[in-house]
């Protein structure tokens, strides 16, 4: 027995015996709709097909969840301060992200020119601070066009501090210690 099918159909092999010679033969069965006919399928083949389909579905869902959670968290707090001459701008941001054992908080201060397309330069960064509203905030005050004072509350380890950047002198002080 020979069955012809288009190349897009599911093909199923079935072991049969030739009625004249008694030999084992393999024949192809197909519904023509893209799926093997239900009466010809082997129960083991159904389990493998369903398991593969479920695995692929879970893999796609997992990949979508992974990709959607990879972006950087938007800032929870942000403030900008322009220099008196308007040539430089300092931007302070606090980013906080929570998760099961993966929560973190970081505050950075960037300095950049107001004109041009250059990326900003980090001049202060810390990742540990007092909890509560405003605990990670930084105050910025331009004393002159070339002198920027940064102030924060609470004792915390500073991860990075620049002393001078693009001709601007930077001073950092803890408000709780300094008058």
Tens digit of each residue's pLDDT (9 = 90 or more) over 83-140: 999 999 999 998 877 767 777 778 899 999 999 899 999 999 988 655 556 667 788 9
pLDDT at residue 67, as a whole number:
65
Q: What is the pTM of this model?
A: 0.58
Tens digit of each residue's pLDDT (9 = 90 or more) over 10-69: 444 555 555 565 665 555 554 444 455 444 445 555 566 678 888 888 888 887 777 666
Tens digit of each residue's pLDDT (9 = 90 or more) over 49-58: 678 888 888 8
Intra-chain end-to-end CA distance of the chain, in Å: 98
Percent of the chain residues past pLDDT 70, beyond the cut: 61
Phi, psi of 45 (to 5 degrees): -65, -35
Could you tell me if 116 and 109 are in contact, meaning their C-beta atoms sit under 8 angstroms apart? no
Query: Which of 86, 100, 178, 173 lies closest to 138, judged by CA?
Result: 173
Q: How many of the other CB atoms lie within 10 Å of CB of 9?
A: 17
Q: How many of the other CB atoms lie within 10 Å of CB of 107?
A: 25
User: Cα 168–152–140 angle (5° rounding)?
Assistant: 40
């Amino acid at each position: 027995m020979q069955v012809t099918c288009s190349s897009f159909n599911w093909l199923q092999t079935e072991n049969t015996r030739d009625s004249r010679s008694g030999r084992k033969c393999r024949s192809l069965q197909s519904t023509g709709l893209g799926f093997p006919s239900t009466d010809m399928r082997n129960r083991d083949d159904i389990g493998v097909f369903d398991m593969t389909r479920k695995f692929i579905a879970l893999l796609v869902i997992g990949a979508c969840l992974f990709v959607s959670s990879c972006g950087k968290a938007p800032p929870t707090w942000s403030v900008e301060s322009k220099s008196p001459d308007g040539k430089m701008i300092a931007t302070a941001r606090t980013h906080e992200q929570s998760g099961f054992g993966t929560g973190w908080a970081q505050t950075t201060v960037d300095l950049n020119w107001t004109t041009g397309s250059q990326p900003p330069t980090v001049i202060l960064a810390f990742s540990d601070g007092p909890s509560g509203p405003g605990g990670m905030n930084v105050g910025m005050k331009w004393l002159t066009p070339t002198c920027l004072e940064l102030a924060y509350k609470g004792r915390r380890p500073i991860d990075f501090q620049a002393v001078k950047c693009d001709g601007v002198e930077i001073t950092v002080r803890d408000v709780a210690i300094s008058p």
